[in-house]
Amino acid sequence: MSEADAATSVNVAEKLGFKNGDLIQEFGYDDDVDFDLRDDIEDLTGSEMLDEDDHEVADAVILWWRDGDGDLVDSLMDSLTTLSENGVVWVLTPKSGRDGYVSPAEIQEAAPTAGLHVTTSAGVSKDWSAVRLVSRKNK
């Protein structure tokens, strides 16, 4: 990876609002996730991401979500279990045209049922897009 590429990907991790010392919990990990983005998040925060079974309070959640992964509302509810009061959930989905693509409307429909509100979206890599969700009281 070139220095310019590295700077760009670290900027993506920063654009997601992460900072050194943050604890990020990851849900939906599989062999298709963007490993460069994961590495950049861990480099920026200074620690490995927590997995689905960890019980530490997380500052944010990364939820890798693909079409066919099950019930999005249930997964969003699970992601809130150890999320801090002011934490955010980033739902990462394959971009349009990629295997497992999820319509943004599906996320917009599921979020309120889980007590969340869609705030913004961002392209985070060549294959993945992200949608930021916060609790309704944290708008």
Helix axes 72-79, 104-113, angle to 10 degrees: 60
What pLDDT is attached to residue 4? 45
What pLDDT is attached to residue 136? 73
pTM: 0.90
3-state secondary structure the chain: CCHHHHHHHHHHHHHCCCCCCCCEEEECCCCCCCHHHHHHHHHHHCCCCECCCCCCCEEEEEEECCCCCCCHHHHHHHHCCCEEEEEEEEEEEECCCCCCCCCHHHHHHHHHHCCEEEEEEEECCCCEEEEEEEEHHHC
Average pLDDT, the chain: 91
Cα-trace Rg, the chain? 14
Tens-digit pLDDT profile for residues 4-44: 444 445 578 889 999 999 999 999 999 999 999 999 999 99
pLDDT band (50, 70, 90) for residue 45: very high
